[in-house]
């Protein structure tokens, strides 16, 4: 919860001070994960954190960059599964907190 609120606050500050021209478009893009169904988000992150080590998007990017030692099944290991699920939860709700905190006077 702390990660959601802190990153939401940082996004709200970015909307307020740095994004002047396209802030309504960026707010719409940031809020989009909030309105996505949970099943769609779960399918998206299943493809990102694919169980097979060399098939997921994250593992493919790590292998392409040359960080082959970091390639492993993210959801298949107890040491990384909770962090992976927390990243998914933060991504889905960061837009909600950003819009709420942006609307404060």
Cβ neighbours of residue 56 closer than 8 Å, sequence gap 6 or more: 47, 48, 49, 50, 74
Is the pLDDT assigned to residue 96 strictly greater than 80?
A: yes
Radius of gyration of the chain (CA): 16
Q: Give per-residue pLDDT as tens, 25-82.
A: 777 777 788 888 888 888 888 888 887 766 788 888 888 898 888 888 888 888 888 8
- Residue 57 belongs to domain spanning: 2-102
Task: Find out whether 7 and 90 touch, Cβ atoms under 8 Å.
Answer: yes
pLDDT reported for residue 73: 83
pLDDT reported for residue 35: 83
DSSP letter string, 4-49: HHHHHHHHHHHHHHT--SSHHHHHHHHHHHHHS-HHHHHHHHHHHT
Domain count of the fold of the chain: 1
Q: What CATH code is carried by the domain that includes residue 77?
A: 1.10.3720.10
Mean pLDDT of 6-34: 78
């Amino acid at each position: 919860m702390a990660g959601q609120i802190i990153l939401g606050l940082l996004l709200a500050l970015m909307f307020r001070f740095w994004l002047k021209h396209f802030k309504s478009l960026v707010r719409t893009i940031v809020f989009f994960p909030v309105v996505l169904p949970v099943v769609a988000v779960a399918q998206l992150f299943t493809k990102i954190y694919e169980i097979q080590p060399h098939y997921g998007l994250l593992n493919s990017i790590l292998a392409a960059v040359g960080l082959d030692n970091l390639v492993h099944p993210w959801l298949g290991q107890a040491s990384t599964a909770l962090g992976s699920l927390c990243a998914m939860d933060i991504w889905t709700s960061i837009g909600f907190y950003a819009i709420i905190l942006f609307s404060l006077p």
